[in-house]
Amino acid sequence: MIRLLFSWLLTLFAFAIGAQTVNAASCSPLLSQTFPRLQDEAPQSLCQYQGKVILAVNTASYCGFTSQYDGLEKVYAKYKDQGLVVLGFPSNDFGQQEPGSNKEIAEFCKNTYDVKFPMFAKSVVSGGNANPFFKMLIAKTGTTPKWNFYKYMIDRNGNVVNSYNSMTKPTSTTISNEIEKLLKEKAQ
């Protein structure tokens, strides 16, 4: 009986490891990254968003564009059930407009804009020390963030399809049309 139970557990374990290998293998190189979550710094794999349309944005709490948190949250709420995710990456790269700790940033986002979309720990998004995700976004588009609230659109297959400057509001027709078009496409 014990031998049978042990054999069953080994089979289950092997199946679970095989499933993890398949998941890792099907994740695009762009999303094969792990970052600490803003709220508690628990590691989060971006592979969990494979198959979704992604709007990635570098954020800051004390910027003239900070009110775009409201628009990002509205876009996320409108399209999340259809397969969109907004990913926020706080950064102090531009004008020193994100000086706070991760805890302070998380509290600001929750208390001021009731942000529910995934946010990651503060990191560098431009220059030679940019985090690996933003390095790849920059390499794929040839466009580096010029300021806070620069946006990148990624399709369900993990391919970067567009970038938008800080002046482009998340609720703009340009971004909404791109999201709706990409949501109609199936992941391959």
Residue 61 CA to its chain's centroid (Å): 18
Model confidence over 47-71: pLDDT tens digits? 999 999 999 999 999 999 999 999 9
Of the residues 27, 47, 63, 109, which is catalytic? Answer: 63
Q: What CA–CA distance (Å, rounded) separates 169 from 166? A: 7
CB 34 within 8 A of CB 45: yes
CATH of 28-184, one of 3.40.30.10, 3.40.50.1000, 2.60.40.10, 3.90.76.10: 3.40.30.10
At residue 94, the pLDDT reads: 97
Distance CA 50, CA 188 (A): 11
pLDDT of residue 25: 59
Q: Could you tell me where the DSSP H helices lie in the chain?
A: 2-26, 68-79, 102-113, 132-141, 173-184
Q: What percent of the chain has pLDDT over 90?
A: 85
What are the boundaries of each domain within the chain? 28-184
pTM assigned to the model:
0.86
* 99-145 pLDDT tens trace: 999 999 999 999 999 999 999 999 999 999 999 999 999 999 999 99
* 27 flagged as catalytic: no
pLDDT value, residue 1? 44
Res 9 pLDDT > 60: no
